[in-house]
Amino acid sequence: MNKDIATPIRTTEILKKYGFLFKKSLGQNFLIDPNILRRIVTTAGVTEETNVIEIGPGIGALTEHLARSANEVLAFEIDDRLLPILAETLSPYENVEIVHADILKANVHEVMGEKFSSPEAPLKIVANLPYYVTTPIILQLLHEKVPASSMTFMLQKEVAERISAKPGTKSYGSLSIAIQFYMVAELAFIVPKTVFMPQPNVDSAVIHLVKRETPAAMVHDETFFFEVTRAAFAQRRKTLWNNLVSKFPELKEQKNELEVRFSSLDIDLSRRGETFSIQEFAKISNELARFLKNH
């Protein structure tokens, strides 16, 4: 087996050879611990039947571990300075394809169709995501309905806690709902900042998201549902009613009628947003959509 890229000595050698300097604007932090990488691949459940999309391969540390286990790996890299490095570090692996593209601007479905030789194989997404674009990337992958059965990401610990949070906790918010609506979220393990080069200021965590067969609740209008959940957390200390009135001022005059409607659904408008489950938010948004349509 080829010696691991992800050791402090080998990483330093590679960076020195190419005169590579980290770009803060791209949130580049490279992993230098092969054990963590093996654990990510295991958590993701990658097997030789699996195709994998990776985002931001860096110098190929995680990519090579994926390549050793997967059928094919398709990695999106935005930084053109890394392309010659990846061409060298990943040369032993014939099942890896690097695409020079910003994942947020790429047509992922199209690229998969072009680059995977067996596009029908089950798909997983695995990545060590740059902190500054974590949320937009995950939400876009869900919005574009990229057909992955699971997504496993290394990201900032605090964001991982928000994504996997349960109702009634400090971390629970509209991001928890936006992702858990489609995926079952589990915080797999914490990763100390000491295993990165350069060292970030905060610890990371690996989160494992498994696609639900059907969304967590039945909603009539998904766009409106997410609008309502974002509104409910606009000011965390406010009640659901006060946050909804800020978003939909036309509700102000209708409080009594709405209280009656919602109490029949066991929804108390004086609760705060963080106390409601996804299923309760579905009831709220469905009822609210009906009400606004008729008024």
14 shares a domain with 74: yes
> pLDDT, tens digit, for every residue of 183-202?
999 999 999 999 998 888 89
**Residue where one domain finishes, among candidates 192, 211, 230:** 211
Q: How many CB atoms lie within 10 A of CB 279?
A: 12
Q: Are both 141 and 200 inside the same structural domain? A: yes
pTM of the shown model: 0.94
Q: Answer whether residue 1 shows pLDDT above 70.
A: no
- State which of 153, 188, 211 marks the end of a domain: 211
Total structural domains in the chain?
2
Q: What is d(CA 143, CA 145) in angstroms, rounded to the nearest whole number?
A: 5
> Does residue 24 sit within a domain?
yes
102 marked ligand binding residue: yes
Question: What number is the average pLDDT over the span 173-184?
Answer: 98
Q: Flag whether pLDDT at 48 surpasses 90.
A: yes
Q: Quick one: 106 and 226 in the same domain? A: no
172 and 258 housed in the same domain? no
Q: Does 101 reside within a domain?
A: yes
Judge whether 149 lies within some domain.
Answer: yes
> Is 217 part of any domain?
no
In this structure, the answer to whether residues 145 and 270 fall within a common structural domain is: no
What type of residue is 128? Answer: N
Q: What is the pLDDT of residue 214?
A: 96
CATH code for position 268: 1.10.8.100
Residue given tokens 């690097």 in the structure block: 98
Is the confidence at residue 255, as pLDDT, over 90? no
- Tell whether 73 is covered by a domain: yes
What angle (nearest 5°) sits at the alpha carbon of residue 231, between those of residues 225 and 237? Answer: 135
Tell whether 31 is in a known binding site: yes
Distance, in Å, from the CA atom of 12 to the CA atom of 6, rounded to the nearest integer, reads 10
Residues 68 and 126 placed together within one structural domain of the fold: yes
Write down the pLDDT at residue 90: 97
Are 233 and 207 within one domain? no
Ligand-binding site membership of 19 (annotated): no
With CA atoms as reference, report the closest residue to 36 among 61, 53, 69. Answer: 61
138 with 205, same domain? yes
In a domain, 3, yes or no: no
**144: pLDDT strictly greater than 90:** yes
CA-to-CA dists, residue 43 to 36, 47, 104, 120, 138, angstroms: 10, 11, 25, 22, 18
Note the pLDDT of residue 26: 67
Backbone phi and psi for residue 239, each to the nearest 5 degrees, phi listed first: -70, 165
- Residue 183, in any domain of the structure: yes
Q: Say whether both 124 and 23 belong to one domain.
A: yes
With respect to residue 171, please indicate whether it lies within any of the assigned structural domains: yes
CATH classification of the domain holding 123 = 3.40.50.150
Average pLDDT, the chain: 94
Residue 2: the pLDDT is 72
Q: Are 191 and 246 in contact (CB under 8 A)?
A: no
Take residue 269 and report the two structure tokens written for it: 């408008």
Question: How many other C-beta atoms are found inside a 10 Å radius of the C-beta of residue 137?
Answer: 22
Domain co-membership, 44 together with 180: yes
pLDDT > 90 in the chain, percent: 84
> What is the C-alpha separation between 202 and 79, in angstroms, rounded?
23
Please give the average per-residue pLDDT across 7-33, as a whole number: 86
- What tokens appear for 177 in the block? 């709902």
187 a known binding residue? no
Query: Domain check: are 207 and 239 in the same one?
Result: no
Do 34 and 81 fall into the same domain?
yes
243 labelled ligand-binding: no
Task: Taking residues 64-77, report their average pLDDT.
Answer: 97
Encode pLDDT of 71-110 as tens digits: 999 999 999 999 999 999 999 999 999 999 999 999 999 9
pLDDT of 9:
94
Q: Which of these three, 211, 238, 270, is where a domain ends?
A: 211
Which domain covers residue 94, as residue numbers? 8-211
95 labelled binding-site residue: no
- Identify the pLDDT of residue 13: 94
